[in-house]
A and B are shown apart, each in its own frame.
Chain A
Amino acid sequence: EDKVVQSPLSLVVHEGDTVTLNCSYEVTNFRSLLWYKQEKKAPTFLFMLTSSGIEKKSGRLSSILDKKELFSILNITATQTGDSAVYLCAVHTDKLIFGTGTRLQVFP
């Protein structure tokens, strides 16, 4: 059975800290791995990763995929209170399989 596991389940940090969120997966027919940020509404797209070792960056966020070890990490540097959200990792096979998410809380 396909599965996607995220860790930690929750994280509490202070503004300015750097955080690393983890996502490991075991699936058949891997097509891509996606990261989403979810606040109170629908998930918003952050990154899509298809190739190992190529870092994707957007401002303070970056992500990388390791297809040999079957995991991805999402880094957030210099965290801000606006980064507080649930971060969802999802693996695209013939459908999108979500991990349980990591709830990040950033305090001033």
Chain B
Amino acid sequence: DTEVTQTPKHLVMGMTNKKSLKCEQHMGHRAMYWYKQKAKKPPELMFVYSYEKLSINESVPSRFSPECPNSSLLNLHLHALQPEDSALYLCASSQEGQAISGNTIYFGEGSWLTVV
């Protein structure tokens, strides 16, 4: 099973709402990632968790708050977003983020977020 599952697939939220995106994998991977992808652009890294600890934050605004409750789950909490935050949010996982070379990184299908 090489599956990364993301929910919801689509989300529409107002600028005052609080919502969360969820990501789950059961491959025993210890590194998990959030990426943001705008139309016709490559994915941009937001956060990396390695062994449930935040290891990389690419200067993401605080209205995005990641959480890794356990080794299989990764959440992205959203609060007071702006319309320009509308994008495809991709979760990914790999065996280990930093120590092992040659890690294949598997992506979920993404959550399409629209902020109105």
Interface residues of chain A, those whose CB is within 8 Å of chain B, are 31-32, 34, 36, 41-45, 48, 50, 88, 90, 92, 94-101
Contacts and interface: CB of A to CB of B under 8 A. Distances in A.
A34 B45 CA distance: 15
Contacts of B108: 42
B43 A94 contact: no
B90 A42 contact: yes
A50 B107 contact: no
Interface of B: 33, 41-45, 48, 55-56, 88, 90, 92, 97-98, 100-110
Nearest to B6: A42
- Leading 3 A-B pairs by shortest Cβ distance: A98-B42, A31-B101, A42-B107
Given A43-B43, A96-B33, A34 B109 contact: no
B105 to A, nearest CB: 6
A38 B97 CA distance: 22
Contacts of B103: 31-32, 92
B86 to A, nearest CB: 16
B31 to A, nearest CB: 10
B38 to A, nearest CB: 12
20 contacts: A31-B100, A36-B107, A41-B109, A41-B110, A42-B90, A42-B109, A45-B105, A45-B107, A48-B104, A50-B101, A92-B101, A92-B103, A94-B97, A95-B48, A95-B56, A96-B105, A98-B42, A98-B43, A100-B41, A100-B42
Contacts of B98: 94
A99 B48 contact: no
B42 A99 contact: yes
B42 A88 contact: yes
Given A41-B110, A42-B110, A92 B105 contact: yes
B102 to A, nearest CB: 4
B104 A95 contact: no
A42 B35 CA distance: 11
